[in-house]
Structure 1
Amino acid sequence: MGSLKTLALAGAMALGASAVAKAADFPVAPPPPPPEPVALRGTLSSGIYLRGDVGVGITSIGKYEQDDLRNAGGVFISEGDRTTTFFAGLGLGYRFNNWFRIDGTLEFRGGGEASATDRWDYTNNFGRPGILTNTYKGNVSSMVALFNAYVDLGTWNCLTPYLGAGIGVAQNRVTGLTDQGANWIDPTGEYAAIIQPTLGTAGSGSNTNMAWALMAGVGYEVNKNLTLELGYRYLNLGDAHSGRLVNAFTGQIQGPLKVKDIDSHDIRIGMRWNFGDPDCCGPKEQPIYAPATHVVRKY
């Protein structure tokens, strides 16, 4: 009887060892992938981004016009054709892929100046020569809305050069315009001129017309959400005009001063905040999870 128990116990131990050895031959299940880190993501699409820009522009004015001066045969003899402007803007965009994106922007431009001098040579009621000159000074500002498209030209060391173009509208305003001048009269014909000062003011005037832009620059990807930009832009703003001119001494009303062919060469510093997960500095290799090595035990 004792021998039977001994044989049964030995058989059970042998079967258990065999089961353990076979179990050691089964592959071990791979560990689950780690959870994705919490990141700021858009609810509509991962390509959405916000942008903000500030900059300075060298703004040029092509020419000035004033209807009463033109009808009388006068001309502009001096035109301040360059002025420095400052601007700031915000925008919303969408990045389709690593090569193409679009955005809409709205910006305010200020600090510009309109400055010009005209001259009108005439004969007075007594047949004597006279010269009337006027110097105009005022402020020029703009509100610009643009739809822009960009082509990104590849990324090297986190730097992405780009080219772009935009089209939209600009509302240009002339404010604070004054007209200071002098009327030179020779009543005797002996060149004993009498100088009469003139003064005029004008209310604000605005004009809305098409605007368009060409752009080039480079972006630097600080991290997967933030991109900084430095760029150049040529911006064509169209025309502007003041309100009607009013003579401060006589109350005579004349036509507004027209500011024609406004454009600007801009340097912009900007940022883009991406509501997605762009590849910063190029694509990253994803980790690969492999099954664990089989372990076989020998008894």
Structure 2
Amino acid sequence: MGGSLLAPSARAADLDGADDLLANAPVIEDSTGWYLRGDVGYVVNETPDWSSLNFDSAAADLGDAWLLGIGGGFKLNDWLRLDLTADYRTEADYGSAGLSADFSAATFLANAYIDLGTWNGFTPYLGAGVGAGFASFDNVDFNGSRIGDADGWGLAWGVMAGVSVSLGPNWLLDVGYRYLSLDGIDLGNGLPDFDQRAHEIRIGARYLIN
């Protein structure tokens, strides 16, 4: 009889403990799959390739820059997500054979990513994107004479890899690398097209929309 009297008390204690665990459990918000993102980063620029010009590109130099980016996307499932991004690369000093200018660029890409699983809140990923790039040479100077500005559009594409880290129910920290290529930038006015490559170290945040 003593055992039967103690059993209800033990069960009640178990239920109280379970209630305490549920009360203290983290709240996980449902997400619609949509998200917003913002990024900053450091850009290691490669020298523009003027393939139609016959001069020593090794004598040219293009400085590094910073970038700012915004975007939005949708997570289709645990493995695949898509987004649209717009990035601005700050001005960098360009110089070659008596020519100097301030170079800057902007890109507009449609991207796809494969998330490779999540371990302890860390999700590595791979991705690729394609779209349009806009590049400009401002304050162009040749041998001390100001000759104006030039800008134009071309193809932009990139490949990326990184890891996202969960910061809470709706926030992810994103740290990654992107190789970005601008191809066939058309400056017009009889100027030759050019290509330009860059290596980007990026850090950003993604906000998951409920």
- Give the counterpart of 1:102 among 75, 82, 85: 82
Aligned to 1:156: 119
Cα distance between partner residues in 1 of 2:185 and 2:145: 19
Aligned-pair CA distance for 1:239: 4.6
What does 1:182-261 correspond to in 2, within 5 Å?
Answer: 199-240=144-185, 256=191, 258=192, 260-261=194-195
C-alpha deviations, 1:168-206, integer Å up to 9, x for none? 0001111011111xxxxxxxxxxxxxxxxxx42222211
Aligned to 1:190: none
Aligned-pair CA distance for 1:61: 1.9
- Give the counterpart of 1:53 among 39, 42, 54: 39
Q: Alignment partner of 2:93: what SS?
A: strand
Question: Is the CA contact (8 Å cut-off) linking 1:178 and 1:201 kept in structure 2?
Answer: yes
User: Root-mean-square deviation (CA), in Å?
Assistant: 2.7
Larger Rg: 1 or 2? Answer: 1
What does 1:1-299 correspond to in 2, within 5 Å?
Answer: 46-64=32-50, 75-76=55-56, 79-117=59-97, 135-180=98-143, 199-240=144-185, 256=191, 258=192, 260-276=194-210
Amino acid paired to 2:47: I
Go from structure 1 to structure 2 and tell me whether the alpha carbon gap of 1:77 and 1:140 turns closer, same or farther (over 3 Å shift): closer
Aligned to 1:122: none
Identify unmatched segments of 5+ residues in structure 1.
1-33, 118-134, 181-198, 245-254, 277-299
Aligned to 2:8: none
Cα distance between partner residues in 2 of 1:40 and 1:174: 47
Which structure is higher in strand share? 2
Amino acid paired to 1:236: S
Aligned-pair CA distance for 1:105: 0.4
Go from structure 1 to structure 2 and tell me whether the alpha carbon gap of 1:238 and 1:81 turns closer, same or farther (over 3 Å shift): farther
Identify unmatched segments of 5+ residues in structure 2.
1-22
Cα distance between partner residues in 1 of 2:116 and 2:139: 45
TM-score for the superposition, normalised by structure 2: 0.79
Question: Is the CA contact (8 Å cut-off) linking 1:177 and 1:202 kept in structure 2?
Answer: yes
Aligned-pair CA distance for 1:212: 0.3
Cα distance between partner residues in 2 of 1:221 and 1:77: 44
Q: Alignment partner of 1:61: what SS?
A: coil
Cα distance between partner residues in 2 of 1:160 and 1:65: 40
